Structure 1
Amino acid sequence: MKVACTEKSQILGSKVAKALDLPLVYTQFKAFPDGELYLKTGAPDEETLLVSSTVDNQSLIQLLLMIDACEGSEITLVLPYMGYARQDKRFNDGEPVSSRAVARALSAGVSRVITVNIHEDSVLSHFRAPAEDITLAPEMARWIEGLGCDDPLILAPDKGAAAFAAEIAKNGGWETDHLSKTRLSGEEVRIAPSSVDAEGRDIVITDDIISTGGTLATAAGMLKDGGARSVHAACVHGVFASGGFARLRAAGLASVASSDTIESAASTFSAAGMIADAIRK
């Protein structure tokens, strides 16, 4: 087996190859003057482990080209971050179910698919190859342990993310809760833990994805006003659109961390170990 990766997943792909003690295939990427993409990868093995986050349209096209380039090899596709996965329903007539369209396109030519904390588990059913989702909850818990906080409170940003926060908290034996909004007036809303007092506590807000960070930044300010000792944020997929990372730091968060499913300077912990464990099974 060899490991190949697309351009936006070079670092994670290299880490996965190292964790599995497998050779990494070098791939050349370029664009033609008309914007069409080109790649040339090394000779595939009988089996290929293809690591590719589809963080934008270019990386999605690169992945489709890479799958075709590896034709004849048995491909295990690892999608650390799957773009278009958040639209899993048709809300208005004429809309595509984007997650289904992308999953079907990426299924052609692959024998197995592994995702990482996909936003909706139902998306897995759209792949036309066996698909499974793995969680980075243990890695996030290890990062939280490294903060050196005294009995941190693990908070989900809403009730829908409470199960993931509880999964992280279980790894460290910590208390967990979710944030809730209380409308105080027509214009004033209070955001606070649903049932646990944050005063004097070190707070870690966890989620699968941070996009713009707007709600989280507002919540962090209210938690600090409510007496929290410190507020941190951690997510699996750090999108940080529209200046989201800077917004969170400007809001006074003590730290903001994400994994390397989307590679950036905020990538503080890695998905490589959990991906390697899934491949070894």
Structure 2
Amino acid sequence: MKVISTEKSQVFATRLARALKTTVVDVTYSRFPDGEHYLRTGDLDDETIIVGSVIDNDALVQLLLLIDACDSSENRLVIPYLAYARQDKRFHPGEPISIRAVAQIFSRGVSDITTVNIHDKDVLRYFSVPTRDISVARDLGEYINTLDLDNPLILSPDDGALAFARQVASVGGWDVDNLEKTRLSGVEVKMAPKQLCAKGRSVFIVDDIISTGGTIATAAGMLYGQGADNVYAACVHGVLTGGAYGRLMATGIRDVICSDTIERACSKLSAADGIAHALSTP
């Protein structure tokens, strides 16, 4: 068994290979003059763990080509971050259910699929091979625990992410709450913990994904206004598009913490051990 990866998941794949006590396969990547992707793999085993976060359309195409190049139904697919997973409903006539289309093409040529904190587990039904989703919420909690903070408050940005926040908070038995938005006027909105007070506390706003960071940036400013000592932003998937990191830091956020499902400078924890355990469990 060896591990092979797309171009933008090489660091993660190496960590996974180490956790599985195996090696990575060398891959050559290039493009044709018209922009088409080309790749060529090194020596493969009968069973290969194919790894690739779908963070953009180039990564999606590379992953499809890699699956075809490995060419064995015994291969296993790991998708740490899967774009299109939030496009899971048809709101207007003529719209695709994008995750369904993506799931169908990734189900070909592999024996099973592993994802990490996919936005909604209901979308797993669109895959036609056995698919499991693992959570690194407790890993995020373990990282927070290393910061040795006194009685931190774990907040989800809304009640939809509260279950994830509770998993994070369970590591240290910390207080957990969700932010509640109150509209004061047509242009003014107040955000605050629904039940608990942030004054004098270190606060972690946690979610599965941080994309633009707009809601967290707004919340951070208001939490500081309510007397919070420090505010941190933490997530599994650091999409961080459109200047999100700078936007968050500009509000005075102490740190941005994410996993390595998308490889960022602020990737402080790894999902590799959790995936290695899942792959090794019958």
- Give me the TM-score of the superposition, normalised by structure 1: 0.98
Q: In the alignment, what sits opposite 1:168?
A: 168
Give the Å deviation of 1:185.
2.1
**Structure 1, residues 136-162: CA drift from partner, whole Å, max 9, x if none?**
012101111122210100000001000
Q: In the alignment, what sits opposite 1:64?
A: 64
Q: In the alignment, what sits opposite 1:46?
A: 46
Verify the 8 A CA contact 2:81 2:116 in the aligned structure 1.
Answer: yes
Q: In the alignment, what sits opposite 1:276?
A: 276
- Give me the TM-score of the superposition, normalised by structure 2: 0.98
How far, CA to CA, are the matches of 1:57 and 1:187 in structure 2? 36
Give the Å deviation of 1:184.
1.6
- Matching residue's letter, 2:133: D
Q: In the alignment, what sits opposite 1:55?
A: 55
Give the Å deviation of 1:57.
0.4
How far, CA to CA, are the matches of 2:172 and 2:280 in structure 1? 25
Q: In the alignment, what sits opposite 2:36?
A: 36
Verify the 8 A CA contact 1:48 1:73 in the aligned structure 2.
Answer: no
Secondary structure in structure 2 of the residue aligned to 1:74: coil
Number of positions where the alignment pairs a residue of Structure 1 with one of Structure 2: 281
Verify the 8 A CA contact 2:72 2:110 in the aligned structure 1.
Answer: no
How far, CA to CA, are the matches of 1:206 and 1:140 in structure 2? 9
How far, CA to CA, are the matches of 2:85 and 2:186 in structure 1? 34
- Matching residue's letter, 2:119: H
Q: In the alignment, what sits opposite 2:258?
A: 258
How far, CA to CA, are the matches of 2:119 and 2:44 in structure 1? 31
Verify the 8 A CA contact 1:192 1:222 in the aligned structure 2.
Answer: yes
Give the Å deviation of 1:86.
0.6
Give the Å deviation of 1:239.
0.6
Q: In the alignment, what sits opposite 1:131?
A: 131
> Among the aligned pairs, what percent are the same residue?
55
2:91 counterpart of 1:101? no
Give the Å deviation of 1:76.
0.9
How far, CA to CA, are the matches of 1:148 and 1:246 in structure 2? 26
How far, CA to CA, are the matches of 1:245 and 1:52 in structure 2? 23
Cα RMSD of the aligned pairs, angstroms, is 0.8
Return 5+ residue gaps in structure 2 as ranges.
Answer: none
**Structure 1, residues 210-251: CA drift from partner, whole Å, max 9, x if none?**
000011000000000000111001100001110000100001
Secondary structure in structure 2 of the residue aligned to 1:95: coil
More divergent stretch after superposition (9-18 vs 265-274) = 265-274
**Structure 1, residues 143-195: CA drift from partner, whole Å, max 9, x if none?**
11122210100000001000000011112111100001011222211100000
Verify the 8 A CA contact 1:55 1:83 in the aligned structure 2.
Answer: yes
